[in-house]
Chains A and B, each alone.
Chain A
């Protein structure tokens, strides 16, 4: 990537070109993350005190949990990942962001879409399809915004100085295509005036959920991790053959998972998914090898910094992916299906894998693009410990509770209330984790907010200074000189 320094812009210029779009994407994402965790906590309250929202339908579990899930995926994970992708593409291309105004417009469209969608769910206008609850208008806004960001990202990638592609390019570029196709296709089928008949709706929903939450998030998260892990560890990305193998097997096999084993659909569908899930062990193994070899012997202690986040996130990917594909094993699915287990895995994927990597990336990128240090670096470190503890306290009890519930549900002699009650203590304990996650997300929001305000104040100060500055008048020459010139 060594190009002539005189031709290629310097790193700070590249970073500066990303400033406004990234601020717009990250700022909104952090806000939605906080709101999503608040709504998640509100939803969990239904299991502490079932009649808490008996007179307030907005915050009942059915509303709040759906809104919280969508906020974590569409509000936080995707825009933040798109922002990081733009920056990584610009850095890898050694070129400033192409069409920088486009992602700024897109970020605003996106956030308006999320706002509309969340309001619609809370007011009872959800579409009723999991992960596609947003009504048509909100989905259309998200889609339009996504295409705009993707145009800018692909253009930036196209202007790269070094034509050779880095592994992050494969993953992030593929993710752009993945979301565009999966999201638009599912929306067209399910939210059009004439949805397909019967259970096909559910099949399309599962296909979308798998391709968004498993494949697309994995592509985004791993693309980002494969950029940052070598950077932080100070050693090159290990085993490019393994990386390519992980990419190919992930897109080829991962895309076929998603149909639950007990689903009331023709038997070939769950069978295909079970087989694909088995083969999806391959990319997980390859990713673990690459990640392990890259960070092994890293001469850099993370101490709560971005490296910690990305390492935790990558480890979470491996663990969540194993748990996720285990749900498609017919033997285990009999126990795990319809329990809190699947819920826990999804939350871990969203927060422990994607969330961790993204927050780490944001803490690394933000000071670079703003050209100044984080206003609260201690809070950033605290954020890591809060998130790490939060994810574990949130997810692990739910996994255990789900397993317990599943085993009891299998035995018809155990009354249903007893089986579902078995998960309750775990469910209640997991709220502690949610609370810690919320505190952590507030650290992120505060950092971004203070930075944005400082930057805007700086802009205002510049403008005021420019207005108040004495006009750079041309030096007034003495009368005599003028006369001389005239003559």
Chain B
């Protein structure tokens, strides 16, 4: 580092390398991304937002909602699960004995303790999870052995993690989920809950409005600031409430003769929130949708 030029060159190479790696590289890899196909379906993912929901993203940006809310779900792993859904003509006790006799099959030996343990805990109700773990060969072997004797099983890929257990998502968030978002609002702080699936948890626009107007009317221990500036408190016209007027609990309601109606921004924001449903299994984030279980 004797001359200014050598400092310049060093910095140029160092920063240039990171620029190529972390800016140019992702641009090449993801910059031209297109919709992907949902697993075991012909539908495309993600769906394009329309109307109010598109505008709602800009309201979300405008009021800095991402300062407290994330839109990204983490997953710690996934398990291959095999559940018994029907015993057919067999009896439960016979089935247990049959399973114990099967544990000498080489593919099942490593998992035998788990499987027997699950059976011991079984109270006789169906469906029952026979196996849940990393090894997909256990699931396929077991399913193959049980099918010929008339037992019905269902193999599922189950996602794991605290975020998923909280119901914030069905699977981890992946790059494809944000294809149409501009700006992408991933967020970095969970002062409030994750919103990746808020549209699935609360699909009702009226709920969203009431929650935005008075968060504690819907979630008593919420710390969310009320966004009353998104609503208009006005005189009831002719003593009649408007169709969109919020039906608030007495302690949050305005005075008699007054009603609270959402402004255009509140409608857009709520429409956007309701549109947030990262619910499709993808190639890079597979899982078996729960609706498929019988």
From known contacts A66-B64, A200-B31, A256-B18, infer whether A46 and B72 are also in contact, taking CB-CB under 8 Å.
no
Contacting pair B2 A126 (CB below 8 A):
no
Are A203 and B178 in contact, CB atoms less than 8 angstroms apart? no
Chief secondary structure at chain B's binding surface: loop
Instruction: Say yes or no: B14 contacts A251, CB within 8 Å.
Output: yes
If the complex has contacts A127-B183, A195-B182, A199-B30, are A256 and B21 also in contact, measured as CB distance less than 8 A?
Answer: yes
B70 touches A338 (CB 8 A): yes
**A263 near B: Cβ within 8 Å?**
yes
Whether a CB of chain B sits under 8 angstroms from the CB of A50 is: yes
Q: In the complex, A361 Cα to B165 Cα: how many Å?
A: 51
Q: Is the CB of A211 within 8 A of B182?
A: no
A203 touches B2 (CB 8 A): no
Select B67's contact among A66, A258, A423, beta carbons within 8 Å.
Answer: A66
Cβ-based interface call for B95 (8 A): no
Q: A51-B226, A56-B229, A197-B30 are in contact. Are A339 and B190 (CB under 8 A)?
A: yes
Chain A residue contacts of B137, Cβ below 8 A: none
**Which residues of chain B (130-180) have a CB below 8 Å from chain A?**
162, 165-166, 172-180
Interface pair A181/B61, CB less than 8 Å apart: no
Partner of A50, one of B23, B172, B225: B225
A170 and B26 contacting across the interface, CB-CB below 8 Å: no
Q: Which of B5-13, B121-129, B237-245 contacts A (4 or more CB under 8 A)?
A: B5-13
Q: Which of A177, A185, A211 has the most CB of B within 10 A?
A: A177
Residue on B with the closest CB to A424? B223
| Residues 3 to 38 of chain B near chain A (Cβ within 8 Å) | 3-4, 7-8, 10-12, 14-15, 17-19, 21-23, 26-27, 29-33
Choose among B22, B68, B177, B225 the residue that contacts A52 (Cβ–Cβ < 8 A): B225
A54 close to B62 (CB less than 8 A): no
Does residue A262 face the partner (Cβ distance < 8 Å to B)? yes
Cα A338 to Cα B4 in complex, Å, equals 41
Stretch from A308-316, A317-325, A385-393, A412-420 at the B interface? A412-420
Which residue from chain B places its CB closest to the CB of A60 in the assembled complex? B225
Interface size class of A (residues with CB under 8 A): 35 or more
Write out the residue numbers on chain B whose beta carbons fall within 8 Å of the beta carbon of A57.
Answer: 63, 227, 229
Considering only residues 314-361 of chain A, those with a C-beta below 8 Å from chain B are 334, 337-340, 342-343
| B236 on interface, CB distance cutoff 8 Å | no
Q: Check: A252 CB closer than 8 A to any chain B CB.
A: yes
The answer to whether A264 and B66 have CB atoms under 8 Å apart is: no
Cβ of B102 under 8 Å from chain A: no
Contacts of B114 in A (CB 8 A): none
| A189 is an interface residue with CB less than 8 A from chain B | yes
Q: Is B104 an interface residue (CB 8 A)?
A: no
Q: Which of A134-142, A265-273, A376-384, A462-470 has 4 or more CB atoms under 8 Å from chain B? A: A265-273
When the two chains form the complex, which single residue of B4, B19, B175, B188 contacts A181, counting CB atoms closer than 8 Å?
B19
Whole-angstrom CA separation of A29 from B98 in the bound complex: 78
Contacting residues, chain B, for A416 (C-beta < 8 A): 166, 193
Report if A244-B1 is in contact (Cβ < 8 Å); known contacts: A50-B226, A266-B29.
yes
Choose among A169, A256, A412 the residue that contacts B162 (Cβ–Cβ < 8 A): A412
Q: Which residues of A contact B (CB under 8 A)?
A: 46-47, 50-57, 60-63, 65-66, 124-130, 154, 157-158, 163-165, 169-170, 173-174, 177-178, 181-182, 185, 189-190, 195-204, 206-207, 211, 244, 247-248, 251-252, 255-256, 258-260, 262-266, 269, 272, 334, 337-340, 342-343, 405, 409-412, 416-417, 420-421, 423-424
If A201-B183, A342-B189 are given as contacts, then 17 extra A-B residue pairs at C-beta distance below 8 Å, sorted by A number, are A50-B223, A52-B225, A60-B64, A62-B67, A126-B62, A173-B4, A189-B23, A197-B31, A198-B178, A211-B18, A255-B17, A263-B186, A264-B72, A269-B26, A337-B188, A409-B162, A421-B223
Q: What are 8 of the A-B contact pairs (CB < 8 Å)?
A: A50-B225, A56-B229, A62-B65, A165-B4, A207-B19, A262-B74, A409-B190, A417-B219
9 smallest beta-carbon distances between A and B, as pairs: A62-B64, A412-B165, A255-B18, A128-B61, A128-B183, A264-B173, A251-B14, A54-B226, A174-B11
Give B residues with C-beta under 8 Å from A. 1-4, 7-8, 10-12, 14-15, 17-19, 21-23, 26-27, 29-33, 61-68, 70, 72, 74, 76, 162, 165-166, 172-193, 215, 219, 221-229
